[in-house]
Amino acid sequence: MKKLLLCATLCALSAFVHADEGMWMLSGIDAKTAQAMKGLGLQLTPEQLYSTNQASLKDCVVDFGDFCSGVVVSPDGLVFTNHHCGYGAIQQLSTPEDDILKNGFVARSREEERPAEGLFVKFLVRTDDCTARIVRALSEVYAAHPGDEKADLDRLYTDSIMGAVEKELKEAEPEADLDCMVKAYFDRNAFFASYYKVFRDVRLVFTATETLGKFGGDTDNWMWPRQTCDFSVFRIYADKEGKPCEYSPDNVPLHTQRFAPIAMDGYRNGDFCMTVGYPGSTNRYLSSWGIDERVNARNVSTIQVRGKKQEVWKRFMDADRAVAIKYASKWASSSNYWKNSIGMNKAIADLGVIGQKQQLEDKIREWYGSRRDLADRFGQMFSKLRDAYAERRNNVYAMGFFRETFMRGVEIYRLANMLNSMPQDADSTEAAGVRSRMADFLKDYDARLDEATMAALLRNYREQVADSTFWPECYSVIDSLYAGDEKAYAHDVFSRTVCLDTTAVDKVLADSTLRDTDPALCYAAGIPVMMQEIAGKGREAASVIDYNEHLLTQALLEMEQQMPHYSDANFTMRLSYGYIQDYTAGGKQFPFYTNARSLLDKAAKQRKIEDYRLEKDIVSLMKKGDWGRYADRNTGDMHLCFLSNNDITGGNSGSPMFNGKGELLGLAFDGNWEAMSGDISFDSDLQRCIGVDVRYMLFIIDKWGHADHLIRELLQE
């Protein structure tokens, strides 16, 4: 085990075979790797990329709110991230009277910068290997339970050991303001602790109009070519000593050790490009049975239920701008992964990903088949994976529809569950906490929309999950009291419940019978019961799958120990590198950048589609064509978006894309439709990272926003 873990770690840190594939840890870039990158155009040393002793490139890349990435671009804490990453904060700061989501926003002074409540950024300070410590503790567990199946011990004890080590490391850390997180790599074959400095006073500085920031909308999402001006600008604040603290009007802009200089010279096809950020989750070591489950038992629920939900939402959002503002961020999140799942299923089928994985599994069988010691370790893992995946198939299918319907679809559950979770004898502090959480939720909630959603999704769940053993208690009520009419049931729930405003807290505390009579509280009480039943039915199979997927990753790393391997993404800082590069798909050549003319042409041709509408002043600005210093020096155009073959996934949104000198070329914001299977399998011929050009961003800040003070700060003038 120790030999394997050492091998896996060394493989991960060795020279890369494919410059375009891989999400690599910056802390593991050795001399050989650096030499390979230098040959492709990198001009920075490993110490300039990652260092714990001096400022390095890692110090200007941030985890943006634990859901995106960002980059510090000035010595006074200015941060660039995507418009869709800042979308939630922008939406929260918008009202129908001051609709900055629609109209954009420019802070003309530091005093006008708007605090984004709840938003934070995290700087990586260092990453330490703690593999040996966790493996040693896990070995002691195995030794103490010699007769037990490792599959029954592995996940439970690994998670608890990781938690204990994380706690110990936090307590031992001398810097009080550092946060520590221990995460697993290579499917729990290696472990690292990452230390972060977290800043919680983050303020909105600039956002363009929604038509620019979301140009193309859901229609163009995951597509190329793109013209989306997908960026927003925030500023990090700290106390007067530069330390993290909560919001205060006395706070000052953070003076950073390192910020990213702007690349004004542009790029050509084939130029070096690297992306640094926080990719969220990939599953490239997953077995063929796991991929099949993802396609046919998981993604189908995301596609089907969100499609139904979004039909309802759209009716209400189109009819009322106030509702549209409330649900803007929710819609963006829902529709993003809805379309992602559609594209993933299509690409996995088109590219034959399951067949490719089966061929790799055949190679692994051949490798261990001739050696007795290896056959003893790995000989049963494929049959166990096959049987366990088959055993839990119906449960996973039902759980997918259950989560999308009851946990992510019908929103009143969240309000009612807050009240159900409150003790009947709650003190004033507990009651105030529930009241505050309800108020936060209600700011972006519309009961009429939710009632219609409940009626549609309850009917849909009954149709899609035919086995009534997976139906929660509300269906017995619907059938016995409402003659199976979900619409009548939903109307009664919403017309009689107390859950739709914060006075419900006092009402429930004053009258305990409401927990048994209020229809929303009764509805919500049955949801976690059924969820636990569904989960319980698949728990044994899940343990077998977790452990044998872990073994499969071990087998691959050991079989290919002379080859470099990178760990699946787990929202820790990673670097990918390669080139600015076009691609060909379906016999069509796609260029590596788009220009202003393509924006105007698309807006004109598709003017009847809401996603492509632009304000008259923006059209006039683009038609004028006065690009000035923002024009590309190679083409004379102003580039809007561009392609690289860098390896990214969700979480990389807002990641800086650098040239070989470490200068900022733009921000990653999307991938291309033809390679939507990228979270499962990387296709070097097709997979591309779509970025917004930093010069397009500066042009909008300057010529549309007239924010000269920001341009001077960004370009250090």
The one catalytic residue in 84, 550, 565, 639 is: 84
Using alpha carbons, select from 403, 211, 218 the residue that is nearest to residue 314: 218
| Structure token pair of residue 142 | 């195995």
The one catalytic residue in 301, 567, 653, 681 is: 653
pTM of the model: 0.93
Q: What is the mean pLDDT of residues 67-80?
A: 98
Share of residues in the chain with pLDDT > 70 (%) = 97
Calpha distance 311→315 (Å, rounded):
7
| Phi–psi pair at 588, nearest 5 degrees | -115, 135
Quick count: other Cβ atoms within 10 Å of Cβ 111?
7
Q: Residue 598: its pLDDT value, please?
A: 97
Q: Residue 386: its pLDDT value, please?
A: 98
Confidence at 147, pLDDT banded by 50, 70, 90: low
Q: Is 657 helix (H, G, I), strand (E, B) or coil?
A: strand
Q: What is the mean pLDDT of residues 145-150?
A: 71
Q: What is the mean pLDDT of residues 300-313?
A: 98
Q: Residue 36: its pLDDT value, please?
A: 80
Helix or strand run (H / E) with residue 544:
helix 539-559
Fold of 574-710: Thrombin, subunit H (2.40.10)
| Structure token pair of residue 436 | 């505050």
Calpha distance 204→116 (Å, rounded):
6
Calpha distance 530→518 (Å, rounded):
19
Q: What is the mean pLDDT of residues 379-402?
A: 97
Q: Please state, in angstroms and as integers, the Cα–Cα distance from residue 303 to each residue in 266, 300, 467, 566, 608, following that order.
A: 39, 5, 20, 30, 26
Q: DSSP assignment of 143-207, as one string?
A: HH-TTS-HHHHHHHHHHHHHHHHHHHHHHH-S-TTEEEEEEEETTTTEEEEEEEEEE-EEEEEEE
Q: Residue 233: its pLDDT value, please?
A: 98
Confidence at 8, pLDDT banded by 50, 70, 90: very low
Radius of gyration of the chain (CA): 26
Strands of 252-300, DSSP E? 252-253, 272-277
Q: Which residues are CB-contacts of 535 (< 8 A; sequence separation ≥ 6)?
A: 395, 399
Active site residue 436: no
Active site residue 444: no
Q: Residue 20: its pLDDT value, please?
A: 66
- Exposed / middle / buried, residue 114 (Cβ in 10 Å: 0-12, 13-18, 19+): middle
Q: Is the pLDDT of residue 456 over 60?
A: yes
Helix or strand run (H / E) with residue 122:
strand 121-129
Q: Residue 15: its pLDDT value, please?
A: 38
Q: Residue 16: its pLDDT value, please?
A: 39
Residue scoring higher pLDDT (88 or 35): 88
* Mean pLDDT estimate for the chain: 94
Where are the domain boundaries for CATH 2.40.10 in the chain? 574-710
Q: Is the pLDDT of residue 2 over 50?
A: no
The one catalytic residue in 154, 220, 230, 292 is: 230
Quick count: other Cβ atoms within 10 Å of Cβ 578?
23
Calpha distance 671→308 (Å, rounded):
25
Any idea which residue has 């787990």 for tokens?
A: 570
Q: Is 557 helix (H, G, I), strand (E, B) or coil?
A: helix
Q: Residue 210: its pLDDT value, please?
A: 96
Confidence at 214, pLDDT banded by 50, 70, 90: very high
Quick count: other Cβ atoms within 10 Å of Cβ 199?
25
- DSSP H helices, 255-320, are 288-293, 299-319
524-546: per-residue pLDDT in tens?
A: 999 999 999 999 999 999 999 99
175-190: per-residue pLDDT in tens?
A: 888 999 999 999 999 9
| Phi–psi pair at 47, nearest 5 degrees | -70, -30
Q: What is the mean pLDDT of residues 60-68?
A: 98
Given a contact cutoff of 8 angstroms between Cβ atoms, the answer to whether 202 and 112 are in contact is no
Q: Residue 177: its pLDDT value, please?
A: 87
645-685: per-residue pLDDT in tens?
A: 999 999 999 999 999 999 999 999 999 999 999 999 999 89
Active site residue 84: yes
Confidence at 64, pLDDT banded by 50, 70, 90: very high
Given a contact cutoff of 8 angstroms between Cβ atoms, the answer to whether 443 and 326 are in contact is yes
Helix or strand run (H / E) with residue 417:
helix 412-420
Q: Is the pLDDT of residue 4 over 90?
A: no
Q: Residue 154: its pLDDT value, please?
A: 75
CA 140 to the chain's CA centroid: 35
